[in-house]
Structure 1
């Protein structure tokens, strides 16, 4: 962390980098002043994201995973350690599509649809799995309906993974979760999880991590109307 802070201190001030002349047709001096002030904040945000990512990478070893969980995949049973494949890092997303649901969570589904397009690139660096407690046949049926091509789906209905790493009550509602695991010399450890839940949310804001994982919200945050207060993705339109 000290090395990260030291390197950041050598950077040019954000306000200096953001001191740009008028750039677009018809913009006023008032607009450019406000835009440059915003640009300075955006530069600081980018630097903060870099600092946080470096701090995350520097975490000490996490806890050893208590068991080699068995999942049901599209090609048959597979264990947690096998999900790593050729990689030493595994990302698992808990999809809110448990057996009590008639249809999956629209928000999770929107996120997974975005990730499906990125998955060939993601899989070059890390292994990635999507788990849900519904039977694998139900997960695959929706995958076909949605037109997903690259996501790798697994049923966790026969194990306690969602309870241990998603704090999910089997008799209650689904809980979304993102966990990262490492495999070093055959020892599987928990590395990081998204922990910014409802208890950490600011007033009048949805609980979400930072950076926000959803490209949808990243795009809308750049528009005058923003995310809105009464709109969420749907499964169909």
Structure 2
């Protein structure tokens, strides 16, 4: 199927009729120029998403990894439920940590809200290396009622799809199940070594909508503010 012919962003932006009280001509010119870039950004996001969706089937999962859930041992295959796509987020909350990662907590807080709808399309679970009792205490404390948590106490899954050296790092991986065969589809792979100057390490697209909302503000993300587990 041929790619659709897109109207130039300049022509689409020229259709904009928005004006706001007391704005200057300078503001309107700059805002319309920004609108053209926003249209191009939307198109770039869709181009990247299309490339991601078109990835060939990844490697077949070598073993049906075991986790510990609230109700006992479960396998990776069990986490799919009745879905053919599984999203697994590995958060930074290993047994050596005194408290869960605030940044990971921000991610999961946002996803808990959308999980009510998301789980109609895909399965989503959060895993970490801490014992399940610790994870469930954390889940209850934060009110994460829509996302199941499982413990990767053996570390077999984490070493295969997140980090080979047992480092306490985050990662998102997507798996598919076709004709009973579970395959890896996609994992986030942007590392700190790929960070652009003046930016904190981040992936693209950003999976935490908090940062996207801050991007709309005059102060942006800032350079010295990060989420916390508690605020005084």
Instruction: Give your verdict on TM over 0.5.
Output: yes
Alignment gaps of 5+ in structure 2:
none
Partner of 2:6: 11
Report the RMSD for the aligned CA atoms in angstroms.
Answer: 1.2
Q: Note if contact 1:89-1:181 (Cα within 8 Å) is conserved in structure 2.
A: yes
1:38 to 34, 43, 47: 34
- Paired with 1:64 and 1:207, the residues of 2 have a C-alpha distance of 30
Q: Which string of whole-angstrom CA distances, capped at 9 and with x for unpartnered residues, describes residues 90-113 of structure 1? A: 000001000000000000001101
- Secondary structure in 1 aligned to 2:144? coil
Partner of 2:227: 233
- Secondary structure in 2 aligned to 1:91? strand
1:73 to 56, 69, 75: 69
How many Å apart are 1:22 and its aligned residue?
A: 5.3
How many Å apart are 1:73 and its aligned residue?
A: 0.5
- Secondary structure in 1 aligned to 2:19? coil
TM-score, length of structure 2 as denominator length: 0.96
2:108 to 112, 116, 120: 112
Deviates most, 20-29 or 181-190: 20-29
How many Å apart are 1:45 and its aligned residue?
A: 0.4
Partner of 2:19: 23
- Paired with 2:9 and 2:210, the residues of 1 have a C-alpha distance of 27
Partner of 2:51: 55
**Number of residue-to-residue matches in the alignment:** 230
Alignment gaps of 5+ in structure 1:
none
How many Å apart are 1:169 and its aligned residue?
A: 2.2
How many Å apart are 1:21 and its aligned residue?
A: 4.5
Matched, 1:188 2:179: no
